[in-house]
Amino acid sequence: MSLGSTARSVLRTTAYAALFGFLLSSCPETSASAQSVEQTLSPQKLQKISTVDERFQSYNVEAVEVTGGRFWKPYDTAKNGGSTQQRDRAPMFSGAAANMFTQKPPIDLTNRRLRTLAKALGPAYLRMSGSWQNATYFHDSDAPAPAVPPAGFNGVMTRAQLKGVIDFARDSNADFMTSFATSMGTRDEKGVWTSEQATRFNDYIRSFGGKIAATEFMNEPTLATMSGVPKGYGPTEYARDAKLFRAWLKQASPGTLFVGPGGEGEGMGWHQPEAMHRIPSEELLKASGPIYDVYSFHFYSAISERCSKMLGGGVTASEALLPSWFQIPDKVYAFYAGFRDRYEPGKPIWVTETGEAACGGDRFASTYLDTFRYLNELGALAKHGVQVVAHNTLAETDYALIDGDTFSPRPDYWGALLWRRFMGTTVLDAGPPQNKNVYVYAHCARGIDGAVSTLVLNPSPDVVNIKGEGPSEVYQLTAKELQATEVFLNGTPLQMTASDELPRLMPVKSSSVVKLRPFSIAFLIYTKAANPACRVEV
C-alpha cells in the first residue's frame, strides 16, 4: 500500500477534505458545514453470512510486559533510562534507533482496575507473545532469576511472572494463547530447535492446573532472522522446526490448538529493507505443508512514525478517516486468505496480532480518532468470517486499549466494551453501502432473542439519519475533538467510578429516525427485530 500518495489523492477529490485540518483540532459535533444524509436499515430482514468465535475480540499482553524490559517508548516520555539488562531484539533496532525503546518494569497484573477492565471484555483470548517472546528464557525454578539472560536468550521470565499471567487470564475469563522461545538458546549444535524450554514452560503451567488453549510456534516467522535464529534460516529450516514443534505439542498438550504461521507486513506494498531478511508467508506454507489447526496472520494498518522512515507505510492523522484507510482490513484479509485457501483449505482464520500501526502505534492511536479504525476492523473481519482478532496491546504503549501507567480506559477500550456488550457471534449482512462515508455492520444482539445490533461509523462531517424498522436503543459515541482522549456516550463522559468500577451504559430510546452526529460512532440495538437468524443467539 502507498498510503501517502493514494490518501493525498483522495483528499484532493473528497468533498469534505478541506475540513480535516480544522476538525482534527476542533469540535466535530457542531460543524457549521454539516449536511444530512440518510441510511435505511431493515433489521428483521438481514441475512446471516457468518459466525465468529465467542472470544472473537481478544488482546495481547506482550512477553516483555510480563518480564519487564525495553519496549516501544511512548511519544510523551523522557529519554530512555533504567536498566539495560534486556538486550535489543535485533541489530536493526540498535544504535540511533535505540531511542525508539524505553525500559519498562513488569506490568502489575494484580491491579484491581486493570482486572476489572479486562474482565469486562471476556470471554477472550489473552495472547502472551510478541517478538521478545522468541528469545525469552523461562527460569523454571523458585531460586532467584539470573541477573543476565543465559546465552542465546535476550530476557528472563520467572515462574511467578508466568503464573501471574495465567491467574490474570483466569480472573478475566480469558483463555491463554502464546508462542514459544525459538532463539539460539533453544537449539542444538546443528541449529535445530529442541523442546527442552517448551516442555518446562508447559509443564509448569500444567502443575497448577493451567493450560495453553492455543499457540503459535514462533512469533512472526516472516521476520525469523530478527529473532535470534541461526544465520541463513529460511523456509526449509522453519518447516523442519515447525513440524518438530507440532509433534511435541500434540504429545505434550494434545488439547492445544496449533496456530500459524503468523506472517505479517505483507500485501501492503511497504518497502522491505534488506536488513529485515523477510521470509514470505507463502514460502513458509509451501515448505511446511498443512500442519496447522488454525491459520493465522498479523497485520497493522500502517507503520508508526518510529519506524516509517526506515520502512515506509506511515500515515498521518488527516488520512485516518479516508476510504482508503477503512478498506485496509479487506485488502489484507484477501491477501492472507488466498494463502489459507491454497495451503490450509478449510482452516479457520485468526488475526493473532493487530493494531493501528506497527512499532508501538502513532500519536493518535490513543485517541478517539483511532476508534473508527478499530471498530471498522472488527466489523470488516467478522464479515469475512475471521474467528479471532487479538489487539496489541491491552495496556502498554501508544496503541494499547488501556493506558499502561494509570490503567485508565482509552477511547478504543470504550469501543471494545460496547462491541463486547452488544455484538453477538452471528454476523448479518447489513447490505451494500448507501453512502460512501458511512460504514454499517450488523450482528445478532447478545443475549436478546431475535434482536439485532448494528454498528454505524460516521467518519464524516455529515449528519446521518438512520431510518430503521421498529424501536431501538441508541449508544452514540462522540468526542469534542477527533484527537481527544475523553469520549462521550449519548453526551455523558465515559469514565471509571470513584471505586474503580465501570460506569452504567445508558441508551437513548428511539421509536423513529436516529440522528447520528458528525464524526460519531453508534451501536443501535433493535430489540424487537424478531430476526429469524437471531432466535438462538445467547
Closest CA to 415 of 382, 385, 391: 391
Q: What is the total residue count of the chain?
A: 538
Closest CA to 489 of 502, 478, 498, 501: 478
Q: Distance between alpha carbon 429 and the CA centroid of its chain, in Å?
A: 23
In the chain, how many domains are there?
1
Task: Please provide residue 410's backbone torsions phi and psi, each rounded to the nearest 5 degrees.
Answer: -95, 170
User: Do the domain assignments include residue 290?
Assistant: no
User: Do the domain assignments include residue 457?
Assistant: yes
Amino acid at 151: A
Contact 164, 109 (CB under 8 A): yes
User: Do the domain assignments include residue 228?
Assistant: no
User: Do the domain assignments include residue 499?
Assistant: yes
CA atoms within 13 A on the CB side of 252: 25
Cα gap 313→304, rounded to integer Å: 8
The residue ranges of DSSP E strands in 285-409, in sequence order, are 294-303, 349-358, 388-391
Domain span holding position 509: 29-51+427-534
Q: Distance between alpha carbon 170 and the CA centroid of its chain, in Å?
A: 20
CATH number for 447: 2.60.40.1180
User: Do the domain assignments include residue 450?
Assistant: yes
User: Do the domain assignments include residue 431?
Assistant: yes
Q: Where are the alpha helices (DSSP H) in 24-158?
A: 63-67, 112-119
How does DSSP assign 84-98, residue by residue? --SPPSSGGGSGGGG
User: Do the domain assignments include residue 166?
Assistant: no
The model's pTM is: 0.92
Amino acid at 231: K
Q: How far is CA 292 from CA 9, 57, 259, 278, 350, in A?
A: 41, 21, 6, 21, 12
Q: How far is CA 432 from CA 185, 330, 439, in A?
A: 53, 15, 10
Q: Which residues of 335-364 are buried (b: 16+ CB within 10 A; e: fewer)?
A: bbbebbeebbeebbbbbbbbbbbbbbbbbb
Q: What's the DSSP call for residue 103? A: E
User: Do the domain assignments include residue 139?
Assistant: no
pLDDT in single tens digits along all 538 residues of the chain: 334 444 433 443 343 444 444 455 455 554 555 789 999 999 999 999 999 999 999 999 999 999 999 999 999 743 333 333 333 344 344 454 667 899 999 999 999 999 999 999 999 999 999 999 999 999 999 999 999 999 999 999 999 999 999 999 999 999 999 999 999 999 999 999 999 999 999 999 999 999 999 999 999 999 998 889 999 999 999 999 999 999 999 999 999 999 999 999 898 877 676 667 889 999 999 999 999 999 999 999 999 999 988 888 999 999 999 999 999 999 999 999 999 999 999 999 999 999 999 999 999 999 999 999 999 999 999 999 999 999 999 999 999 999 999 999 999 999 999 999 999 999 999 998 899 889 999 999 999 999 999 999 999 999 999 999 899 999 999 999 999 999 999 999 999 999 999 999 999 999 889 999 999 999 999 999 999 999 974 4
